[in-house]
Structure 1
Amino acid sequence: MALLSPTQSVLLVIDIQERLAAVIPDAEGLVARTGILLQAARHLGVPALAFEQYPRGLGGTLPAVSRHLPDGAIMEKMAFSVAAIPAVRTRLATLARRQIVIAGLEAHICVLQSAFGLKAAGYDVHVVADAVGARRPRDVDLAFARLRMEGIGITNCEMAVYEWMRHAETPHFKTMSRLLRG
């Protein structure tokens, strides 16, 4: 497992949807950090994709997240793992990047199953701990324990952004620094 690279990463935002987010502790903070990740990804050339689990029932991606996504970046799904969706596998293969950075809901279901599936497909997977949640905190803890046991990286928003930047001489350093300080 290596430091995150902006030329090798893809950011995946999983199921940050209206009805799910409404029952997640600290959803506001999670959404804010996901927004930071998306803005950093845009500035630093990291492609981003977002997913919606059964949007007719769970609602759409929260506007605070979707406003940072490029057109066509949101894909509907019924599978819990994004790795189980042929169109996702094709899109990731087209991007030709080996690192996957994951934010989203819920840690112990769609995030965990996606991370396991992507790791099994040969990707270097990193889950952003402070941009991931679940209805019950113990489910997040259990998910992180299982992810670690499988060799999946656990990072946070600030670590991911600074790893993507690598140094303070990047033209985006001041923008990213302000963004992270809030």
Structure 2
Amino acid sequence: MRTSNQIHSESSILILIDLQGRLMPAIDQGESVLDQCIRSAKIAQLLGIPIIGTEQSPKSLGSNIESIKSFCSQTISKGHFNACADGLTAAIPTNRQQCILMGCEAHVCLMQTALKLIDEGYDVSIVVDGVGSRRALDKQIALDRLSTAGARLITGEMLGFEWLKSAQNPAFKEALALLKE
């Protein structure tokens, strides 16, 4: 349930879903997805926004890519596709109601996690250029379904500028350089 039409850095948490070494090479446009996730994580870090990662069956699929792991204050190892079933909601600080989701696969773990967060009353945004699936059609249908379910669809650039609010933000110049990459 949306608390506001606007996204605020003070109430946001970035959740990076299953950006795992063995999975990413199979993702359609996986390198672009990963680049956007890293860019958004860098901006979140500049602004003091907490970042949580998840890993699906890491014994089979391996860990998250090191560049992703380094941003996460916590990484949840999960067996369910929906990360909430393995402790994600308990890991979200109580003052963070706006969940920003990025990662893979859009139509499986990311979608099931987002739908559960929406059911639990969180304000959910999906960074469309930071999510991926093995097949483009699966990603598109997942985004359609998430939008219908109440998730906000945004781009990484939209998110960065919305978190910053203005050019007077002390992190503006550093974040702007990242947004222009």
TM-score tier, shorter chain, comes to over 0.9
**Which residue is equivalent to 1:15?**
18
Q: Percent identity?
A: 31
Distance in 2 (CA, whole Å) between partners of 1:75 and 1:154 is: 24
Structure 1: runs of 5+ lacking an equivalent: none
Counterparts of 2:135 and 2:120 in 1: how far apart (Å)? 29
Show structure 2 runs of 5+ residues with no match.
none
Deviation digits for residues 94-140 of structure 1 (CA, Å, limit 9, x no counterpart): 44211000000000000110010000000000011000000000000
Aligned to 1:60: 63
**1:31–1:64: 8 Å Cα contact kept in structure 2?**
no
Q: State the partner residue of 1:164.
A: 163
For the 8 Å contact 1:13–1:102, the answer to whether it is kept is yes
Name the TM-score, length of structure 2 as normaliser. Answer: 0.94
Q: Which amino acid aligns with 1:167?
A: S
Q: Residue 51 of structure 2 contacts residue 71 of structure 2 at CA under 8 Å; is this kept in 1?
A: no
Q: TM-score, normalised by structure 1?
A: 0.94
Distance (whole Å) between structure 2 residues aligned to residue 39 and residue 95 of structure 1: 23
* 1:23 CA drift (Å): 0.3
Equivalence map 1:19-38=2 (5 Å): 19-38=22-41
Q: What are the residue-to-residue correspondences of 1:14-163 with 2, within 5 Å? A: 14-70=17-73, 73-85=74-86, 87-92=87-92, 94-163=93-162
State the Cα distance separating 1:64 from its structure 2 match: 2.6
Q: Deviations over 1:67-114 (max 9, x none)?
A: 3334xx2110111111222x322221x442110000000000001100
| Residues 37 and 157 in structure 1, CA contact (< 8 A), matched pair in contact too | yes
State the alpha-carbon separation in 2 of the partners of residues 141 and 111 from structure 1.
13
Contact preservation (8 Å) 1:18, 1:61:
yes
Q: RMSD between aligned alpha carbons?
A: 1.1
Distance in 1, Cα, partners of 2:89 & 2:77: 14
4+ runs deviating over 4 angstroms: none
